[in-house]
Structure 1
């Protein structure tokens, strides 16, 4: 993988940013991060005015309860490990870490095999020959695929678990459920990782084709 190719690098960086944003980690000096789910309970007053009597915002990093716009309980500590958002939080966090690792691996230009340092012309390859530039072609690609799968697993697990647990309870109590920006960030992050895998694959094929043509030209010159 030639990660210096901006077409392959930018989607990875974008996906990492979206994954971190989806965690909903509280921002210092603000009321919180980006929730993955919000629930609003409205009540009609005697004068006919509809007011919000209870608002709940769920973050992967914790949850916040508000009543009539005033914070009554603020819990920004991570979920207990027994809560399903905790597992999704870990999966999304691992996806972001894997994304960063894929960039680090791909930009490495020197490798060592059995104590011998080999300089690679094209960063980021583990291929079929395990020599020269091919040594890292699958490493970075494999990490990107793992990051994508982790991101997909975290997003699907969060959505499925919420639909099986808290959403029915909130709906039974007449709460209006809305998807938060945090969950949307996670979905966009999935697209970013998938795009990075596709662009990396295309770029690798292009590089391999170019080198094959160069090798054929060299053989013709020798003849």
Structure 2
């Protein structure tokens, strides 16, 4: 069997690594994922590629690249063709904005996620968790309004703009805290759950 040409460095329980691996599945890339970060630590070899002590990093024989959303954009442009990297700059930007928007949402979700996935229940700070859920809901109300008008964050079809929030949606729906209902987001999420790469690479236990 030929050696995979596309290497993804990072542990799969990272939201940012999930984005890249899921998109590799969508693109049908032959890839190899190597555990690094978190419980696996960082090697000198890895830090020579990415001195930020963060994940993921990719290598494809052409570039060594870090920052997950930059990686997604590169993958779409280099391997996705117009299906994934729209020729029209307006269409591309309208989808692309959700990739950057996700960064603010991720910060809002951080405390609820870390509490549920990585903190003993007796150490939960319920006030901080509640504030985090409220902050998430405030962000998601914007996404809900958009999805009431468009089927996908990328516009008329599923695209790279849906990948980052697709990963965070799994966490949102998995958190065992009282949350408001967002019907349009729930519908979008149900459709994403039917994608094989999402089911296999994103919908894993939260740790």
Structure showing the higher strand proportion among its residues: 1
Q: TM-score, normalised by structure 1?
A: 0.33
Q: TM-score, normalised by structure 2?
A: 0.35
Structure showing the higher helix proportion among its residues: 2
Higher relative contact order structure (alpha carbons within 8 Å, sequence separation ≥ 6): 1
